[in-house]
Structure 1
Amino acid sequence: METDKTSKQVIARAATILKIISQSVAGMNITQLSRTCGLPRSTVHRMVATLEEQQLVINAKEGVRLGPALLSLATAAHTDFVTAARPAVVALGRRTRETIDVSVSRGLHAVLVDQYASDRELRVVSAPGTAFPVHCTAHGKAMLATMDDSVLANLLPEMLPASTSKTASNRVELLAEIAHIRQQGFATDNEEHAEGVCGLAFAINSGISSLYAVSIAVPVLRFQRNKEVLLAELCKTQAEIESVLYQPR
């Protein structure tokens, strides 16, 4: 019985640490994790080391972040939605010849769970399982725009890390953009996460408690001249996916 109790405690502590890390855009050091979760620094250090051995976290110079093994598990957990959306995602990719990403909301991150890669020589491609900051990506902002203001107030820190000179680096600025996204129904990334990369996205509630986004990732050289066509194709895909998800059973 004592062994069972200890095992449950270890699992609960590990889960707490992982949840806290998922809420951090830039990563957290051991001291910050210890203070946030209320555990001794030595305990947190030991647990982070164990999680790192399993590739569930990465303990880098800039702080502890979610690791590739955990992100792969997140990818595998969304088979139903990915399967339902896949035909429309592939069709969108073939029509536009651009990379199409499907992401799921995870706190301050949007985790890539599926992708149709562009066949062009100049393209934007990321590995499935990659966690993107929500405040400076099209798919991330699209999902933020579906959340209540009270949720956003608790989720978003006052200051946000700037990935490029075009990133909204504070909550007030981001909330103003989110209000605009709610009005127009889609989100845009104009080199806010990475220089030379732009995107368009819409969010969709899967009906199974998870929030997803479908986005088009486009090199900046093609974005402005093709934006209206890409947006029209994206809206068509949104309707296609919603018709599959919400059709009568």
Structure 2
Amino acid sequence: MSLAHRCGHVITFGGEEEFAGPITNGGEVVSTAVQTARRTGSAGAIGRAMTVLNCLGRRAAPTSLAEISRRTGLPKSTVHRLLGTLEGQGAVRRAGAGYVLGEAIRRLSDGVETAHRDALRHLLMPHIAELYEATRLPTSLAVLDGHSVVRLVTLYPRTPGGPVPHGTGRVPADRTALGRLLLAYRPEPAALEPELVSIRRAGIAFLGREPAGGLAEMAVPVAAWPDREVAAIGLTGRSGELARTGVERLLRRTALEARLTLRRHRAVLP
């Protein structure tokens, strides 16, 4: 090995080695061990910062430094240092005695969420339309946003006196079968209420908002891949209409076909 290769470093371009000279710090040659430590240290710091951001992103309420440390497994001193850096960049902010994601992250997240929801709507609209044509019942595609459910699309008959879905757009999740189902599939099943545990086990949610014969809902999850429920499909109608033979089977079949579609197009999903 030449002296140049012992003292310098080699950069590869398309398989060709090019000698680039020694890496120095103020004229002093920096050892390979130090170079490696610096590279891995930077990568490690980024990884730890992402771990903290992911922890905050999973929780709607402010999270204390101690709780972040417990959930991430990072020392409190490390979490304190990372939070200070992230706060300075607008990535997190203080909220009472805890921390939440800052506006810088939320602006990025909003753009990603919009693109993600547009992709879901585009990919699954044919399945929603087919289910509506088969049942002639109000049919919705929805996602969870914090403690609210957002209907991305709803198809329903424009007939006087016909059943109308419980609003469109954003509504509290616990008021709809769609929302309760998506709450049941959050990534922290141990913290679920008994009712949500039952929904998760059954893979379907029912909600009757009025006495027998009144409006009711049922919803099933759509998974892009195993253990990743990203949306829900639901039907709204009179209690007797939802109880008709074959309606639940059609809903479950539509969700299965929607899952297959999403898995064929995983590149468009985060």
Question: TM class, shorter-chain normalised?
Answer: 0.5 to 0.7
* Cα-to-partner distance string for 1:190-223 (whole Å, 9 max, x where unaligned): 89xxxxxx96421233336622331449xxxxx7
* Ranges in structure 2 where 5+ consecutive residues have no aligned partner: 1-34, 157-163, 210-215, 265-270
Bigger radius of gyration among the two:
2
1:178-217 correspondence to structure 2 within 5 Å: 178-179=197-198, 182-183=201-202, 185-188=203-206, 200-207=218-225, 210-216=228-234
**1:124 is aligned to 2:168:** yes
1:88-237 correspondence to structure 2 within 5 Å: 88-89=127-128, 96-97=137-138, 100-103=141-144, 115-116=152-153, 123-126=167-170, 137-143=179-185, 152-153=189-190, 156=191, 171=192, 174-175=193-194, 177-179=196-198, 182-183=201-202, 185-188=203-206, 200-207=218-225, 210-216=228-234, 226-227=238-239, 229=241, 236-237=250-251
Partner-residue secondary structure (3-state), 1:206: strand
1:7-156 correspondence to structure 2 within 5 Å: 7-34=42-69, 36=71, 37-40=74-77, 42-50=80-88, 53-54=90-91, 57=92, 59-61=94-96, 63-66=98-101, 68=106, 69-70=108-109, 72-73=111-112, 76=115, 83-89=122-128, 96-97=137-138, 100-103=141-144, 115-116=152-153, 123-126=167-170, 137-143=179-185, 152-153=189-190, 156=191
Name the residue aligned to 1:163. Answer: none
CA-based RMSD of the aligned residues comes to 4.8
Tell me by how many angstroms 1:6 deviates. 3.9
Tell me by how many angstroms 1:16 deviates. 1.0
Structure with greater strand share of residues: 2
Partner-residue secondary structure (3-state), 1:84: helix
- The normalised TM-score by structure 2 is 0.50
Name the CA distance, whole Å, in 1 between partners of 2:93 and 2:155.
Answer: 29
Partner-residue secondary structure (3-state), 2:238: helix
Tell me by how many angstroms 1:43 deviates. 0.9
Identity score, percent:
15
More deviation, 28-37/6-15: 28-37
Partner-residue secondary structure (3-state), 1:137: helix
* Ranges in structure 1 where 5+ consecutive residues have no aligned partner: 157-170, 192-197, 218-222
Name the CA distance, whole Å, in 2 between partners of 1:63 and 1:5.
Answer: 30
